[in-house]
Chain A
Amino acid sequence: MSVPLSLRCLLVCVALFGGSAHALTPQQARALVVGEAEPRIAALNAVLAAADEKTVALIQAMSDDAVKFTDSAVFVMKDGKGFDPVSGAEVAVPDTAEDVINNNQMRGELDTALASIKLFSPDNTVRAEAVKTLASEPDENKLPMVEKAWAAEQVPAIKDALGAVRFAILLGSADKAKRLEAATALGATGTPATKTLLLDRQKVETEADVKAAIGVALKTIEGRLAWGERLGVIFTGVSLGSILLLVALGLAITYGLMGVINMAHGELMMIGAYATYVIQNVFRAYFPGLFDYYVLLAIPASFLAAALVGAVLERSVIRWLYGRPLETLLATWGISLVLQQAVRSLFGAQNVPVENPAWLSGGVAAMSNLTLPYNRIAIIVFAVLVLVGVSLLIARTRLGLFVRGVTQNRKMAACMGVNTARIDTYAFALGSGIAGLAGCALSQVGNVGPDLGQSYIVDSFMVVVLGGVGQLAGTVYAAVGLGVLNKLLEGWQGAVLAKIMVLVFIVIFIQKRPQGIFALKGRSAEA
């Protein structure tokens, strides 16, 4: 008889569980398997407190729907063969044997029963999982096992969680003193689940002082949850801000420094996102083992793809329109239409799926009701890195020097031997490449489709307008500020009104400071 892994693990649990196990009797086995749900649950709870490995094997088999019975016998099925649950010997299964049917209630009981056995597993993760299962259904019958496990537990995090489960069970206890103790103790844990538990109890509680203790506990929990929510809003705001920052950084170069108003900026982002999609597919098809690292190649690929398209655009269209911003606006809008339609022809009009690599999915639980997803954290870090990279590039490198020179005085720069036309192309390609990076980042958190750019273009221009032209610092403050403001208002008034309020705010702000937060001072301000 081959023993499956999960069962073997359970058997180890039982071995640790202690010596007072009774051997499973045929009567017990029958009571567990045959009859109405209610008596079966009673039987389950009766055998659970002192289960031996045969009992555990039977419960596991029931949970796996691998038990049959006849009028006189019970069979545990394995690989098409029947085994007697008590002796473990192989027996012939008659054709009349029926499957054991578990309703939802029974199934839940089996799960928690297995979980309470797993509380004694030597594996930390198995125990943590088991505590989670038990926490969802506090049941007084499991109390002895929970208390025993709690006393034996060594890992502090699991011990705390077990304690919470214990108090959650005690909250329903008949003993008033225990309820009081539980209510006070639960106040210190503060998960949303505890809150519902306490609220439920508050409704049926009759004793005044227990009720008061529950009230106090609820208040502490609510206070803590409110903090979690507030931090959550700020985090999503910063996250949105970091995305806006990535989008606006490219614009800060093409529009802010070069004065080219590029309505196709969003479509360059889209190209970056589709480049990520292509790289993902290449990795999936040819290097499935390295799939988790496709993002590392997608970052330079999206930069290069967008930068290349940007360079071609600058050479073919935008160069003829320098100094005519309104015409540039219309021409680049035309470019954006062509690029969108091109992507539709190549990849279809539907959104394409881009998967997070394993190390970017999931998140870190900062508080009981606040989980910070890894992909959003990664984008914040990425945005900061790109920002540092761009500011170093502009401030410290030869290319940056040339770009600033051409921006400030084109003729003088040309006289000093700078190839201004080439610098224009490089600068525009750089801005476009950063848009591609933004698209790569966006593909990790949102949909990738032909309309990807459209939804960000108004926002990103707002960032540049608000931050002031020709200013990287202004762009940063404006992006993060708008992101947080947007999310704060969203929590208060809903997404659409929040967006409208932000737009109105910007229009009013421009009234006061037409040049943005950080206005250029002196002669260049008029230009």
Chain B
Amino acid sequence: MSAVLPTSAPTPTVTSVPRVGLLSMKSWGAVALALLVVAVVVPVLNLAVPAGSAFHASDYAVQLVAKIMCYAICALAMDLIWGYTGILSLGHGVFFALGGYAMGMYLMRQIGSDGQYRMPMPDFMVFLNWKEFPWTWAVSDSFVAQMLLVVLVPGLLAFVFGYFAFRSRIKGVYFSIITQAMTYAAMLLFFRNETGFGGNNGFTDFKRILDVPIATPSMRMTLFVLTGCTLIGFFLLARWLVGSKFGRVLQAIRDAETRVMFTGYNPLHYKLAMWVISAVMCGIAGALYVPQVGIINPGEMSPAASIEIAIWAAVGGRGTLIGPIVGAFFVNGAKSWFTQAFPEFWLYFLGALFIAVTIFLPQGIIGLLKRKKESS
């Protein structure tokens, strides 16, 4: 037995010392500060400070930040599956959109008879001359049921798709391409009027949520705070996940899947679990996104939208949890600035970002900052 052992066993390199708590004291402080900003400071600056003041947070800014926080949840979900499990999904947009559609269906029912046609059915159904709701809309008038669907539909799709894909050990680029095909197929399906979700136009023109008008400042702020808290909650959840034994196995799968298999773990269960969690996070992000942006259409399922999620995570820094959030804010902030100032240069910038990050910044912005810190 001893003959096969290497003469000098390589000293195991410990990449990160297991922490006692979930976060260091300093990080807890940062989280508390973030919570304070999201739940108290921004609402006060937006609602209480008068519009003329220099400290007033404009509705536009609040809506933009809320939108980006939804994107940041997606980026976080992408990081869990890509950065920590090594599986690049090019189809996360479909989970985001499905969550959004589940929320949108409820919002469409909340319009009631206030649509263009003054009918109890959503406008697009009246337009298509449908007399009753398709089966997919069976529980759409119940808020609780639709919120369950926000979780269940992306989760179930991810479970079925992931089970078959991981079971036949499809990995790497193959898996990425198949997820892209999945979101592309879903987009084509949702473009059809017959599918029953509004075709090209999707859902828009929402009026109420839980019988409360959706366009009021207080409602907007409630959704903002909810989104911010969800983001922070998911961040803590992700931190707990990657620090747990479960998360360690995932990282081992990322680095050497075959070796994990030989050690007696079945990667299928681990990958599948993380894949489903990631999909559900995206679904919830979509559900928060729709009432704030006011529209959901099949464009969210386009392959381009999904691949952008990956670039948010890559720009910020994969394999760190704060990275994807930073990346989502950086890329989307740049996007809203570019599309206003130089609309024709936005795609050049985005394309250059894809290239530059993969070649020069494999660790993203966070990696860059870390390197600076270490060298100084």
Contact = CB atoms under 8 A, between A and B. Distances in A.
Interface of A: 261, 317, 320-321, 324-331, 333-338, 340-342, 344-345, 458, 461-462, 465, 496-497, 499-500, 503-504, 506-508, 510-512, 514
Contact of B168 (A340, A461, A496, A511): A511
Interface in B168-210: 168-170, 172-174, 176-178, 180-182, 184-185, 188-189, 191-192
Given A327-B358, A338-B352, A507-B164, 20 more contacts: A317-B359, A321-B359, A326-B88, A334-B351, A334-B354, A335-B351, A335-B355, A337-B351, A337-B354, A338-B355, A341-B347, A344-B344, A496-B191, A500-B185, A500-B189, A503-B184, A510-B174, A511-B167, A511-B168, A512-B168
B184 A458 contact: yes
A325 B177 CA distance: 12
Interface in B346-376: 347-348, 350-355, 357-359, 362
Interface in B207-245: none
A496 B192 contact: yes
Interface stretch (B14-22, B68-76, B139-147, B306-314): B306-314
Given A321-B359, A510-B174, A341 B351 contact: yes
B355 A331 contact: yes
12 contacts: A320-B359, A325-B172, A329-B173, A330-B358, A334-B311, A334-B353, A337-B351, A496-B191, A499-B188, A504-B185, A510-B168, A514-B168
A61 B149 CA distance: 75
B319 interface: no
B303 interface: yes
A331 B359 contact: yes
Contacts of B354: 330-331, 333-335, 337
Contact of B180 (A345, A458, A500, A508): A458
Interface in B131-177: 161, 164-165, 167-170, 172-174, 176-177
Nearest to B177: A461
Nearest to A264: B351
B174 A507 contact: no
Given A321-B359, A514-B168, A326 B173 contact: yes
A143 to B, nearest CB: 49
Interface residues of B, number: 43
A337 B177 contact: no
Given A327-B362, A330-B311, A341 B173 contact: no
A506 B350 contact: no
A256 to B, nearest CB: 12
Interface of B: 82, 88, 90, 161, 164-165, 167-170, 172-174, 176-178, 180-182, 184-185, 188-189, 191-192, 303, 307, 310-311, 314, 344, 347-348, 350-355, 357-359, 362
A270 to B, nearest CB: 14
A317 B184 CA distance: 27
A441 B357 CA distance: 35
A309 to B, nearest CB: 14
Contacts of B167: 511
A338 B353 CA distance: 10
B168 A333 contact: no
B351 A499 contact: no
A326 B344 contact: no
Contacts of A341: 344, 347-348, 351
A325 B173 CA distance: 7
A504 B178 CA distance: 10
A458 B303 contact: yes
Contact of B358 (A331, A338, A507): A331
Contact of A496 (B178, B182, B189): B189
B358 A500 contact: no
Nearest to B310: A330
B226 to A, nearest CB: 32
